[in-house]
Amino acid sequence: MENGQTKRALTDWQLLLLLAAGRFLIHVLINNKYGFHRDALAFLDNGQHLAWGYVAYPPLTPFIGRIGLELFGLSLVGIKSLAALAQCAGMVLTGLMAKELGGSRRAQVVAAGAAAIALMSLIMSTLFQYIAFDYLWWVLTLYSLIKLLKTENPRWWVSIGVGIGLGMMTKYTMLFLVVAIVTAVLFTKSLRAQLKSPWLWAGVGLSLLIFLPNLIWQIQNEFVSLEFLATIRARDVQIGRAEGYLSQQFYVNMNPLTIPLFFFGLYYYFFAPDGARYRAIGWIYLITLALFGLSQGRFYYMAPAYPMMLAGGAVQGERWLAGLGPKRQQLISWVTLGFLLVGAIIGAALMLPVAPINSALWEITTDIHDNFVEQIGWEEMAQKVWKIYEQEEANYTSLGILAGNYGEAGAINLYGPRYGLPPAISPVNSYWNRGYGENPPEAVIVLGYSREFLSLLFQSCQRVGQNGNEYGVENEESRFSRDIFLCEDLWKPWDKIWPQIRSFG
């Protein structure tokens, strides 16, 4: 019997891995379009300055970016494949969640498929950003918790600790999941009993040990990330980015065509007899949903919580289906497959880089999100700066490049070496910490600032170019402060103005 069970488990693993491999291959084939997102440029550039922390985020994603640069260079497919790989691993773990909850192979495939076509998961597979890896650590942690609840084997606390530690080294929103798990432990009898287990405390210790280097960095830097996060939260609330939190849980964090699975999942965790063992999972979802909502967080912070709900829904859906007649079972099975396929097609069209630039489909995706438009024109911008630099360099002892945002700074630093450009300086986030160089520039080519602002810093500024892109795509670079200036003669020395222009973004 044991050999048969092992063989079956390996078969389930192989099937889920095969599905994930197919998805990964699709991403590899299509992730060569557009360019890097402005956020990806900053992550990759920070990866060239390895540290235990950065103003805007923990160190793990820049470290992964550094590995990607060493392996692939500035290859779109190579770098983005790392994010796609994280999403595909999350897809496999979702299927395994369904297996641990008692689902058959069919339920496992439905759960994995539903997780794979979630709109947020699809877009995360095309962007090198920390949300892609944050997603994986959440899913690993929650899969381990399901294993713990099923087996009551306290050794799973070690895996939970690893997931939490890696999550905290990726994105600080992992702390919300930690609060939810702690609450579930205190109010769930079976979990509360494990407070006496040394394995639980080993998991706690391991998570703290993994996170310790970043914690020390925060202490050394006076917890600058808290100031950053407060500033960004205030900005997001002011411009309305926190709006639509609840509605977008359904049509972005999931695929709209898998919403029935979500409600099946709620039923499974809170009302189904065989789901009673896993009720803590349902409460963890509700607690994190409430915490992010009360703190006015962005909707996508909750994206990693949906695989566990879809897994529970696939299992409950299978239980419900078993009570129907054979013909109705067959019909609903085909309808489910059809929903998943249609959902995949819609999700791919909206969230994967398949639309030709400025096509009708491109316009539709642009109306829905700005992830693609913010990938356009970065190397073109670096080329424009290079032409200006080439013309003006001989006129100055030291000519620098001042960037107003992290996308511009990242693009200059990543693409600039091809053209012989010096590293950009910028007062944004961790760029500010790196300063303005040992030899302060006599003049600077300036990106991303208005003439009005620059007049407060420099006595002389002339427009020498304009940002934009060959496609005429409107994004932050072409819409806001698009003029490129050549500025000289500071009103005050660099060491006086640098503390005054520090900013977060």
Domain boundary among 316, 351, 386: 351
CB atoms within 10 A of CB 67: 13
Structural domain includes residue 361: no
Single pTM value for the model: 0.94
Structural domain includes residue 289: yes
Q: Which residues contact 409 (CB under 8 A, 6 or more apart)?
A: 42, 45, 403, 424, 425, 426, 428, 431
399 and 336 part of one domain: no
Structural domain includes residue 295: yes
Please answer whether residues 167 and 125 qualify as being in contact, where contact means their C-beta atoms are separated by less than 8 angstroms. no
| Number of Cα atoms under 13 Å in the Cβ half of residue 72 | 16
Residues 308-341 pLDDT 10s:
999 999 999 999 999 999 999 999 999 999 999 9
Structural domain includes residue 4: no
> Cα–Cα distances in Å, from 318 out to 17, 90, 106, 265, 314?
22, 22, 8, 11, 6
Domain boundary among 351, 385, 403: 351
331 and 210 part of one domain: yes
Residues 134-186 pLDDT 10s:
999 999 999 999 999 999 999 999 999 999 999 999 999 999 999 999 999 99
Residue with tokens 């494990």: 194
Structural domain includes residue 236: yes
> Cα–Cα distances in Å, from 207 out to 137, 139, 218, 441?
12, 16, 17, 44
Please tell me whether residue 279 adopts helix, strand or coil conformation.
helix
Mean pLDDT of the chain: 95
C-alpha 157/C-alpha 174 separation (Å) is: 16
> Structure tokens of 118?
């979630």
244 and 153 part of one domain: yes
Please answer whether residues 28 and 84 qualify as being in contact, where contact means their C-beta atoms are separated by less than 8 angstroms. yes
C-alpha 452/C-alpha 458 separation (Å) is: 10
99 and 158 part of one domain: yes
pLDDT band, residue 237 (cuts 50/70/90): confident
192 and 309 part of one domain: yes
Enclosing domain of residue 387: 376-500
Q: Which residues contact 372 (CB under 8 A, 6 or more apart)?
A: 34, 353, 355, 362, 365, 366
Mean of pLDDT values over 398-415: 97
274 and 421 part of one domain: no
| Number of Cα atoms under 13 Å in the Cβ half of residue 503 | 14
Structural domain includes residue 316: yes
276 and 227 part of one domain: yes
Q: What is the per-residue pLDDT for 2? A: 44
CB atoms within 10 A of CB 331: 12
CA 412 and chain centroid, separation = 23
Q: What is the per-residue pLDDT for 8? A: 55
52 and 154 part of one domain: yes
Residues 262-296 pLDDT 10s:
999 999 999 999 999 999 999 999 999 999 999 99
Domain count along the chain: 2
> Cα–Cα distances in Å, from 317 out to 30, 105, 275?
33, 13, 13
105 and 195 part of one domain: yes
Structural domain includes residue 164: yes
Q: What is the per-residue pLDDT for 6? A: 46
180 and 72 part of one domain: yes
202 and 56 part of one domain: yes
145 and 224 part of one domain: yes
Q: Which of 407, 409, 405, 352 is nearest to 376 (CA)?
A: 407
DSSP label of 302: G
pLDDT band, residue 32 (cuts 50/70/90): very high
Residue with tokens 């030291």: 398
Structural domain includes residue 268: yes
Q: Which of 157, 169, 137 is nearest to 204 (CA)?
A: 157
Longest CA span, the chain: 84
